[in-house]
Structures are given as C-alpha cells and as structure tokens.
Amino acid sequence: MHKTLIITLAMLLLTACNSGESRKKDTADQSATPETVRMLAGLKRAAGHGIMFGHQDDLSYGIGWVYPGGESDVKRVTGDYPAVYGMDLGDIEHRSPVNLDSVPFGDMKKFVREIWARGGVITLSWHVDNPLTGGDAWDISSDRVVASVLPGGEKHEEFTLWLDNLAEFMASLTDDQGVAIPVIFRPWHEHTGSWFWWGQNLCTSEEFIALWRFTFDYLCGGKNIHNLLFAYSSGGDIANAEQYLERYPGDEYVDLVGFDYYQMPDAGNSSFTENVDRVLGIVTEAAAQHGKLAALTEAGYEGIPDSAWWTGTFWTAMKDHRISYALVWRNAHNRPGHFYAPHPGHVSEQDFIDFYVLPETLFQKDVTAMEIYKQE
C-alpha cells in the first residue's frame, strides 16, 4: 500500500511545475525563482557578447594543490577565474560527506556561495550510482536499470529517496540572505553513448524521456526546488538533428542544449575541430528552433600536449557558433597527466593567455561586469 501510494503521488506530480497551459516564464520550470529567471535572461545576453569559459572543479584542487581558499589553476595562469564553474554531485544520493572525486559537499556549498557573490555561473552534473546493481554510474551490466527506477519499478522507491537527498542539497544552496542560488543542472548526460547505465543501448527512448521528466517533476513539483536550469547534453557522436533530438524530453523540460566531446590522443587536431564545428551546427540549430541556449557542456584534451591548442584548435572549433559556454574538464591533483586546463609552466600556458585576451572569450571579470543576474 505504501509503495502504491508513493507511485500514485509521484505520477500526480508529473504536471505540477510544468503545465503547458499559459506558460509565462522562459524557464522550463514555471515556478522558477526570480533569480533563476534572471539567470536565464542574463545567459542569453552574455551569449551575444562571446563564449564563457568554464572549468570543472576549478576551486577544489589543481596541479600541486588541494582546497586552499581562492586558488584556481585558471587564475594562476590568467589572473582571472573562469566564468563557469562545473561541479559533480555523484554520491550525494547516499548522503556522503564527499563526492565521487572526494570533494567535500560542505566545501562545494562554500564555492557556490563565492561564485554567486562574484557573479559567476555554476553547472552541476550527477554521476549517480547504479541503483539496481549497486555499482557506479559506469556499471552497464544491466539494461533494466532505467526501467527499475521509473514508477512501478523495483528500485523506484529507493530512487525517489536518492532524489530526496539531491533535492536537500539543492535547497541548501542559499546566500547569506537565504536567497536560493540558481544553478544549471545537467543530469543524465552523454546519453547517446552507452557507458552510463542511462545510455543509448541500456534503455529505450521512451524510458529515457520518462526518466528525465520524472526527475524534473519530482524535484520541481515534489520537492519545490525552483533554482534549477535544466541542461540536456548528449555525447559528441551525433550524426544529425534527428539523432540529437531522439531522446529530447520536450521544450517544457529543458533550458539549455549541448554536448560533450573530447580530443583523443590518437586523433589529430583537425578531427576534433571538424567534429565540434559540425555538431555545434546541429546543436545551435536545434537550440534556435526550440528557443534554448546552446553550450559545449564538456570538452578538452587531456594533458594538452599541443602548445597552440587553445587558439589553434579549441577556439577554431567553436568561434563561428553562438553558444553560451564551453567547459573543459578537471585538473586532478592525484592523477598525473589528468588535467584539461593549463597550469603555470605548462607548454600551453602562453597560448591560453592569448585565448583569454580574445575579445570573444568571457571569464569571471567579464561576466561580473555584465551582471548576469541583474533585474532588466
């Protein structure tokens, strides 16, 4: 009886914060906070000036350091922070004190407040564990996981508890005045690949869309979390718009569209540039047609062995497209060679400075001046 009641209530939530009737806000969540609505408007304005640069775990650690206040490899090189700061919520589902990369969630909250105070942008991904097998997000040993967490599935109740824990963290992201800090939430990413349990070959299109919609409606309608912009982000293995939008959950569930793509060691610069340029064409066209922001939600070249990669490859790939931001992955402090932004003394340091001074690249000082969150 208890399980049936939970499922029934969950299904009733499916239209709670997302009614298609008389939509009055540009945000997917029609109950989004004023700050979240202003964030979306500010991101659209900023996209008219250039592309924001983002870095995963920028404030958490870097090459040769861990957690000192105010530190950043990007800032060490340029004297400025990135405009966009990525963080991951993996293991929040278990109420763990640290995420899957050992970043304390308490520190993450502090970082969010610092970024908000200086007018930066926060994006949160979620490498959530496999609730059916007990493995991690990369455990693809079963193709029944998504079905198991949907209403009626054997892991649905457990999954809603995980969403409760996620919602509790999102609700804790407030400033000193108690204002909910708006963030970009990017769940179920790289779904066109099959390396996560929610990936292409691990569930049907209908199951994936149901997973997305349930996540959205449970957080917004069930838990009253209204400080989120939702980002739909595929892998970079996209052939055409039809494939890109095959699992798109609908305009009323998405604020931003993007994709993730990395340069592999055995691939040349031209291969990366050509594919990013091509897929950005697909994604930006979809964004325009659906009234959404577009972004290169994850990218990079591990170790950045090319001294001119930033201006010669990375910038070349995206400069002709109107996108909100491009985020490179993290600079691990405990995995030699696993870094995606330069650090002092790195071979690409000067080229990154050249990239930084381009008028069309936006970093923290730029977006601070733009006042993304201001009332228009």
Question: What share of the chain has pLDDT > 90, as a percent?
Answer: 91
Instruction: List, in order, residues 6 or more apart from 354 with CB less than 8 Å away.
Output: 310, 311
- Residue 371, CA distances (Å) to 78, 335, 355 in order: 21, 36, 22
For residue 285, give both structure tokens: 């066209």
Residue 3, pLDDT > 80, answer: no
Q: How does pLDDT run across 319-348, given as a tens digit for each residue?
A: 999 999 999 999 999 999 999 999 999 999
Q: What is the DSSP letter of 183?
A: E
What whole-number distance in Å separates Cα of residue 45 and Cα of residue 74? 24
pTM score above 0.75: yes
Assign 239 a pLDDT band (cuts: 50, 70, 90): very high
Q: How does pLDDT run across 117-134, given as a tens digit for each residue?
A: 999 999 999 999 999 999
User: 36 with 229: CB under 8 angstroms?
Assistant: yes
Assign 10 a pLDDT band (cuts: 50, 70, 90): very low
Assign 8 a pLDDT band (cuts: 50, 70, 90): very low
For residue 160, give both structure tokens: 């809603």
| Strand ranges for the chain from DSSP E | 51-56, 61-62, 65-66, 84-88, 121-125, 183-186, 228-234, 256-263, 293-301, 325-328, 361-362
Q: Which fold has domain 2-13+35-370?
A: TIM Barrel (3.20.20)
Assign 5 a pLDDT band (cuts: 50, 70, 90): very low
Residue 230, pLDDT > 70, answer: yes
Whole-number pLDDT of residue 276: 98
Q: What is the DSSP letter of 238?
A: -
For residue 166, give both structure tokens: 């996620």
Assign 23 a pLDDT band (cuts: 50, 70, 90): confident
What whole-number distance in Å separates Cα of residue 153 and Cα of residue 135? 18
Assign 68 a pLDDT band (cuts: 50, 70, 90): confident
Residue 157, pLDDT > 80, answer: yes
Cβ atoms < 10 Å from Cβ of 354: 16
Is the torsion defined by CA of 35, 40, 46, 51 positive or negative?
positive
Whole-number pLDDT of residue 22: 65
Give the chain's mean pLDDT.
95
* pLDDT, greater one: 215 or 21: 215
Whole-number pLDDT of residue 19: 52
Per domain, the residue ranges of the chain are 2-13+35-370
Instruction: List, in order, residues 6 or more apart from 45 with CB less than 8 Å away.
Output: 370, 372
User: DSSP alpha helices (H): ranges in 61-104?
Assistant: 73-78
